[in-house]
């Protein structure tokens, strides 16, 4: 039996605005719809390369299997973002790319149209980052955000992420190039 990792526990984190709960296979279709029904999510996450494009379709059974594997994975934490007002799943937060020797990992998130503009993304980010740094004992959490997504960068800065560098011309989009900002937050 493999030893437990900090990612083995799949907590439910509750805030005033959102609840973050472990994903299940049943969430796959919901989260896919959040991305497909909101072109802004696909564009700002670099999932597409032209304004208005949709991400390539993913077989629903394959996507369900991916989420089922993430629900029990010991190398990542994938939590659904649930709006406490409506009980709707509006996005996800992920701690991944775990580096055990350096007690660090990556972070990614998306929140769809139904969850934007009310502080849900900020609270979701704060909850999962605090859990990673305080409860899981991580020292460093990193992320990448494209230069054409200043709203997300503002959220990350409010939570405590610091800009550490720029990857030039990291994304081809609408016949041009977009830089990516590299950010990190440190714990104990």
Q: Is residue 69 part of a domain?
A: yes
Task: Work out the pLDDT band at 3, boundaries 50, 70, 90.
Answer: low
Q: Is residue 133 part of a domain?
A: yes
- Indicate the pTM of the whole model: 0.94
CA atoms of 53 and 117, how far apart (whole Å)? 23
Rounded mean pLDDT, 171-175 = 95
> How many C-beta neighbours within 10 Å does residue 185 have?
22
Q: Is residue 59 part of a domain?
A: yes
Q: Which domain holds residue 26?
A: 13-186
Q: Is residue 71 part of a domain?
A: yes
pLDDT for 1 = 44
DSSP H/E element including 145: strand 140-146
Rounded mean pLDDT, 108-134 = 95
Q: Is residue 54 part of a domain?
A: yes
Q: Is residue 167 part of a domain?
A: yes
CATH of the domain at 26: 3.40.630.30
Q: Is residue 134 part of a domain?
A: yes
Task: For residue 129, give both structure tokens.
Answer: 């980052």
Residue 106's Cα: distance from chain center in Å?
9
Per the structure, how many domains does the chain have?
Answer: 1
pLDDT tens column, 33-73? 998 888 899 899 999 999 999 888 899 999 999 999 999 99
Asked whether the predicted pLDDT for residue 188 surpasses 90, the reply is: no
What are phi and psi for residue 68, nearest 5 degrees? -65, -40
Mean pLDDT of the chain: 94
Q: Is residue 23 part of a domain?
A: yes
């Amino acid at each position: 039996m493999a030893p437990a990792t900090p990612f083995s526990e799949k907590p439910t984190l509750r805030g005033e605005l959102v609840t973050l709960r472990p994903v299940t296979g049943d969430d796959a279709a919901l989260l896919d719809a959040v991305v497909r029904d909101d072109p802004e999510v696909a564009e700002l996450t670099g999932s597409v390369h032209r304004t208005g494009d949709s991400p390539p379709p993913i077989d629903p059974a394959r996507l369900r299997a991916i989420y089922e594997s993430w629900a029990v994975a010991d190398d990542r934490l994938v939590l659904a973002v649930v709006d406490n007002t409506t009980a709707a799943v509006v996005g996800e937060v992920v701690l991944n790319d775990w580096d055990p020797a350096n007690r660090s990992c990556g972070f990614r998130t998306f929140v769809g149209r139904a969850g934007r503009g009310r502080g849900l993304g900020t609270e979701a980010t704060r909850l999962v980052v605090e859990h990673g740094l305080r409860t899981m004992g991580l020292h460093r959490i990193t992320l990448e955000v494209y230069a054409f997504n200043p709203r997300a960068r503002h959220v990350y800065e409010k939570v405590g992420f610091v800009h550490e560098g720029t990857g030039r011309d990291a994304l081809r989009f609408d016949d041009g190039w977009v830089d990516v900002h590299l950010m990190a937050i440190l714990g104990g």
